[in-house]
Structure formats: structure tokens, C-alpha cells
């Protein structure tokens, strides 16, 4: 646009919007992860807070046991737990119910046990964490770095139609684990 303007017009545009700059020099944009604190029930762990997880890479996944799309992701969570737990990865499952049966704590506990989830799961029956995160879909997976910032996310099935999201996210997990604190 500046090529077709006269010098006085260029000066007016620059005065209005500022001089151009190289946006690539701004660095990585990241956001602090919203709170995972809840007065709800925690399974496999005492209640966790974001500050408890600083220095760790955290996978936060929103799921519900009756969601077929969520169930498709379960093998990857177990695989990540096995592959990365000794390197400092923490997986936190947020069980946010969709149907009446999914509000029942006994059903959630049974599902966690049946699926072999060894990681912390918070029962988010009031959708407080779901809403705090601005989440809107089951399943959703967020990767939080050691500084507590969301760096990557994935909405939906990780391997939907063979897209390979599970390996993409695993690479990002390893990248975040390799970063210094």
C-alpha cells in the first residue's frame, strides 16, 4: 500500500498505525494456563493446583466416559503416561459430564479404574474448570509447559481419519520436556 501513496500520505499512515516492524521478532505468544483447582472430587491424587505443577510438563485433557471420541484418545494418554512419566510429565484428566449417568461419581471411578488411568482425574461436575478454560468440546487436550503456559492444544480425536495427532502431540511433549525450566 505504501508504494502507491505520496510521501505526505505515507507520513499520515505511519502516524496512524506506526512504523512497520518484523513481527517474527516478537517471540512466542503464550498464555498462562487457567486454574485446575476444584472443590470437586479428585481420583488418583489429592487436589492439585497449577502452582503444584510448575516445573513439570502437563497434559490436561477434558473427557467424559460416555463420549466415543474421548474413548478413542484413551490409548494415547496411557502411552504418554508410560513413555514420559519418568521424565516429568503429569497428565491431568478433567472429567466433565455430558449425560446424567456421567455425573455419578461411582461411574466415573469405575471408568477410571477400568481404563487403567493412573494419573490424576478431577471430577468437574459443575463444569467450573471446563468454563475457566473456555473449553467447548470433548475431547480436548492441552499441553502446558514447565512455566505453566499453554503451548499446544488439540480438539477432538487425536487420530481422527489417521491424521496422527497423537504423534504430533507426543513430539510436542518431548520438546517441552527437553526445555530448561
Q: Is residue 148 included in any domain, yes or no?
A: yes
> What's the pTM value of the predicted model, to 2 decimals?
0.84
pLDDT exceeds 70 at position 1:
no
Is residue 12 domain-resident?
no
* Total domains present in the chain: 1
Per the domain annotation, does 165 fall within a domain?
A: yes
Domain with 49, as residue range(s), is: 23-178
DSSP code string of the chain? -GGGS-HHHHHHHHHHH-----GGGG----EEPPP---SS-EESSS---GGGGTTSEEEEEEE-TT-HHHHHHHHHHHHHHHHHGGGTEEEEEEE---SGGGG-HHHHHHHHHHHT--S-EEE-TT-HHHHHTT--SSSEEEEE-TTSEEEEEEES-TTGGG--HHHHHHHHHHHHHHS--
Write down the pLDDT at residue 3: 75
62 or 14, which is more confident: 62
Question: Residue 139 maps to which CATH number?
Answer: 3.40.30.10
The per-residue pLDDT for range 23-54, each reduced to its tens digit, is: 667 777 778 999 999 989 999 999 999 999 99
What pLDDT is stored for residue 78 in this prediction? 96
Amino acid at each position: 500500500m505504501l508504494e502507491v501513496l505520496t510521501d505526505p500520505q505515507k507520513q499520515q499512515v505511519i502516524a496512524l498505525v506506526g512504523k512497520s516492524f518484523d513481527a517474527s521478532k516478537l517471540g512466542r505468544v503464550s498464555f498462562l494456563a487457567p486454574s485446575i483447582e476444584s472443590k470437586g472430587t479428585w481420583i488418583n491424587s489429592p487436589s492439585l493446583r497449577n502452582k503444584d505443577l510448575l516445573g513439570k510438563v502437563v497434559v490436561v485433557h477434558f473427557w467424559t466416559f460416555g463420549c466415543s471420541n474421548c474413548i478413542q484418545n484413551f490409548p494415547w494418554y496411557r502411552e504418554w503416561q508410560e513413555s514420559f512419566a519418568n521424565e516429568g510429565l503429569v497428565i491431568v484428566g478433567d472429567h466433565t459430564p455430558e449425560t446424567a449417568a456421567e455425573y455419578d461419581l461411582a461411574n466415573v471411578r469405575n471408568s477410571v479404574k477400568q481404563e487403567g488411568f493412573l494419573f490424576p482425574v478431577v471430577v468437574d461436575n459443575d463444569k467450573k474448570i471446563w468454563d475457566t478454560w473456555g473449553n467447548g468440546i470433548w475431547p480436548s487436550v492441552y499441553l502446558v509447559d514447565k512455566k505453566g503456559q499453554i503451548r499446544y492444544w488439540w480438539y477432538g480425536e487425536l487420530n481422527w481419519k489417521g491424521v496422527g495427532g497423537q504423534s504430533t502431540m507426543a513430539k510436542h511433549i518431548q520438546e517441552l520436556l527437553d526445555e530448561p525450566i
